[in-house]
Structures are given as C-alpha cells and as structure tokens.
Amino acid sequence: MPTRSVISNRRSRPIISSRITSPSAYMVSPFKLVQSLAALFVQKGGVIQRAHVEQLRPGHDGAAILNTSAGAVRAEHLVICAGAFSKPFAAAFGIDVPLESWRGYHIMVPSAGVPLNGVVADGEMHFAVTPMEDGVRVAGLIELAGVDAPPNYARADLFVRLAKCLIPTFPDTPASRWMGHRPGMPDTLPVLGRAAGHPKVYFAFGHGQFGLTFGAVTGAAIADLVAGRTAPSALAAYDALRFQ
C-alpha cells in the first residue's frame, strides 16, 4: 500500500514525465455489461433463479444436488463459477483449491475537474482514472483479507490523494466508495475444467483482475467441454489439482 511519504514525494516531482497512449483501448461498464448479458440469456430461453445455496453435494448418479433457500435442485451438469466464493463449493466435491480474494477498491466522483477522453492510468502506483456514464471512477490496489473481513475504506480514500498527484483538480471527497472480491490463484491462472472424480461437475473461476476480459472465452470453453466438443485435456493447464 502506498505510504504518505511516497505520495508526498510524488507531489514534489513533475506530475507526468512520460506517457504511453493506447488508441485501441476501450471502456465498458461492468454492471451494464452483465445486465445486458443476463437479459440476452433470458431472451434466448434461459432461466435465472435467485436463491441461497445452503448445501452442495454429489448425487448417486453423478449429478449434483443443491439444497437452496428455494428448495432442492438436481443439476445434471453443474458449473461452479462463484468467483472468490467458489472455494467451499469445490470442497464439497473433495477438492481443496488455494483460492484467495484479491480485494479491490474504487471511488466515484461526479467529475475529475478536467475533461477526460479515456482512461488515465498511473504505472508506478497501479491505479486508473476512468470516465464513466455516471461520473469518474478511480480503481486499483490488491488487498489480501479474505471474503469475510469488512471493507477497509481507508484504502479507497487513498485514491483521492493518488488521483490529485495525477490530476490536481480532482475533488477532495468521493461521492461513493466500493470494495469487491477478485478470485485469485497463486500462479495467477484460473481454475477451468472438470472436477476430478465428478465428470458432470465443472470449475470456472480464479481469473483475478481479468474476469471481465476472459469471461466470454471461459464460457465458450466450458460449454464446449460440457457438450463434448472439447477433450478435458485441452484445459489441463488449468486443472484444480495442479497444486497437489
């Protein structure tokens, strides 16, 4: 985590000494993207059920049994893709994965005080200032504190001071603060493929900061595996047992 002395030292130096411009870079609202994908899924005949999974266990015929707040569900094929919360679900099938939450923070402000035509990222301090439809977002950092610890919003408030080093007109107070969980593995590779000993159970989690980037290709890869269009060996490098 950047210290006060590091931030103060940055303020005494030129704000920008060099830059790299990426004309092909684009921005997207993660929330609106997921909303659109969910709507398309329903439009094509999919059904979204909201329920709390209280217990998950293998069935006698290879299927998975989910005891939920909405009743019991028998899944002929089950894909576990619960992000940073996937560890206990994998454990229900006898597989211990070294999954950790890489907690990230962001703040929102109405404006940065100057027009922004794209993302402005600081390569030294590892944060980015991004113009969004509903304001300007500053995001970054990785905090290892598990999925149960309460947010440490002092980390989010740090973005104000960091952003001011880059954009002096940046507001003093954020309009909102947020903390979320990224599912991270020790080797930074995701867990993809069939669960060992359970041919109808599949894993798709552990993408770290690249969940949005690789979500689509992961979905296609798992769909091909479930449908038998791809051999399990194609995803061997991402097997959940690679650490054992």
Q: What is the number of other CB atoms lying within 10 angstroms of the CB of residue 97?
A: 21
Task: Please enumerate in sequence order all residues whose Cβ is within 8 A of that of 208, keeping only pairs 6 or more positions apart, or say none.
Answer: 102, 182, 183, 184, 185, 188, 190
Query: 156, 169 in Cβ contact below 8 A?
Result: no
* pLDDT for residue 154 is more than 80: yes
For residues 112-138, give the mean pLDDT.
90
What backbone torsions phi and psi does residue 7 show, to the nearest 5 degrees?
A: -65, -45
Confidence class of residue 15 from pLDDT cuts 50, 70 and 90?
low
Task: Please enumerate in sequence order all residues whose Cβ is within 8 A of that of 157, keeping only pairs 6 or more positions apart, or say none.
Answer: 107, 174, 177
Q: Which amino acid, 28?
A: V
Whether the full predicted model's pTM is greater than 0.95, yes or no, is no
What is the per-residue pLDDT across 183-192, written as a single tens digit (0 to 9) for each?
999 999 999 9
Q: Which CATH entry fits the domain spanning 53-99+189-238: 3.50.50.60, 3.40.30.10, 2.60.40.1180, 1.10.260.40? A: 3.50.50.60
What is the reported pLDDT for 118? 86
Query: 192, 235 in Cβ contact below 8 A?
Result: yes
Q: Which amino acid, 217?
A: V
Q: Which CATH entry fits the domain spanning 100-184: 3.10.20.90, 3.40.50.2300, 3.30.9.10, 2.40.30.30? A: 3.30.9.10
What is the per-residue pLDDT across 34-83, written as a single tens digit (0 to 9) for each?
999 999 999 999 999 999 999 999 988 888 999 999 999 999 999 999 99
| Segments making up each domain of the chain, as ranges | 53-99+189-238, 100-184
For residues 7-31, give the mean pLDDT.
66
